[in-house]
Amino acid sequence: MKYLSFLVCVVAIIFSGCDSAAPSVKLAVKSPTDATKYLYRNLAELSQENILFGHQDDRAYGVHWWAEEGGSDVKAVSGSYPALHGWDIGKISQSEANLDSVNFDDMRRWIISNYENGSVNTVSWHMYNPTSSGDSWDTTATVKAILPDGVYHNAYVEKLDKAVDFFRSCQINDTLVPIIFRPFHEHNGNWFWWGKGHCIEEDYIALWRFTFDYFEDKGLNNLIWAFSPDRSRLNIENARQEYLYGYPGDDYVDIIGLDNYADMGRENEHVSAEEQIENYKRGLRIITELAREKNKIAALSETGLEQIPVDNWFTKHLLNPIKGADDIQIAYIMVWRNANQQHFYASYPGHRSEADFKSFYQDPIILLESDLDRIYE
């Protein structure tokens, strides 16, 4: 089958001039490693028909368990790990474990193991505030102060160096594990110190670019850079323009992401479930369109409905609205973490969403780890 499609491609190229349907995507880093390049291309290719399903901290803990080797709520329901694994390196510079208590040594082991299993890793960074001892929600004015020439610049660079060490240590057989890196997320909201209202747009962009260049200089040619504004702070009527607030530029971004919890079925007296579904589609249409124009990949970088109080949430809110839509093409969807019985977003054995999650992942569009085939080649 593979050879057949290869032949068809070669013949198509000979007869039509190079008109493959897959976008000819190119990464922002100048010298990406082969594995990173192939991953990005394969995601672009796969996104034409499929969506990788992802889950934050999937292997680290679940609703009723903690750090059991082989554990995964997604796997317990479906038989497979998710196709994409989200991690967070908040606290990397100050502790053995991240802010959600995942030990960095374990995280590294799981990141490498996912790579060996042929699934994908993405890393966000709830970065502690470099100018105070506070966390990422401590909105003490910071961004300007950590840019070159800022008084806290060195403190910032020290944090970056810790992240560089961590990313470098995620390697096997001299190959750095490719990672979709998603720093400074939801920056159009005002809840993080890098958010709107706590710095000017120009400084946000300067911070992103400085960080990109710094990591590239340190040889991190395994990073795929994901930009991810939050839907709740986009006026849907003007969302395309507002989405680009803080956009660091096509040379600094690979993934046109969106975090969306706002349109996902949460009770809202002002917006019905049906309107939310419409808005969900509109948001994804916008990032699809932008990704196509920019020759990049779109993704629903974070989503979910806490506690999944709707039996058919996975099909009704997540999958069905985008099934068969030509104007929506996203490489992956990632739901947030299963921290405990109050704070969880993925199905687990015995939960009311279990049967519906089965229909969701059994849909040919949705890919889990076991559906992926040589994504790094």
Site pattern 336..375 for ligand BMA (x: CB under 6 A): xx-x------------------------------------
Q: CA–CA separation, 253 vs 228, rounded Å?
A: 10
Helix/strand/coil (H/E/C) assignment for every residue in 37-73: HHHHHHHHHHCCCCEEEEEECCCCEECCEECCCCCCH
Tell me: does residue 99 bind ligand BMA (CB under 6 A).
yes
- Work out whether 9 is an interface residue with ligand BMA (CB under 6 A): no
CB of 88 to ligand BMA, least distance (A): 5
Neighbours of 322 (CB within 10 A): 21
How many beta carbons lie within 10 A of that of residue 261, not counting itself?
Answer: 18
Q: Which is nearer to ligand BMA, 33 or 56 (CB)?
A: 56
Q: Is 126 in the site for ligand BMA (CB under 6 A)?
A: yes
**Sole window of 152-160, 252-260, 264-272, 332-340 interacting with ligand BMA (rule: CB under 6 A):** 332-340
Q: Give the bridge partners for 88, in sequence order.
A: 124
Which residue shows structure tokens 């470099």? 130
Of the residues 100, 161, 242, 278, which one makes contact with ligand BMA according to CB under 6 A: 100
Q: What does the per-residue mask of binding to ligand BMA show for 149-188, with x meaning CB under 6 A?
A: ----------------------------------------
By the 8 A CB rule, do 58 and 83 touch?
A: no
User: Which span (11-19, 231-239, 264-272, 334-342) binds ligand BMA, by CB under 6 A?
Assistant: 334-342
Contact 301, 345 (CB under 8 A): no
Whether 318 and 54 have beta carbons less than 8 Å apart is answered as no
Q: CA-to-CA distance for 161 and 281, rounded, in angstroms? A: 39
By CB under 6 A, the residues from 53 to 92 that bind ligand BMA are 88
Which residues make up the interface to ligand BMA (CB under 6 A)?
Answer: 88, 99-100, 126, 336-337, 339
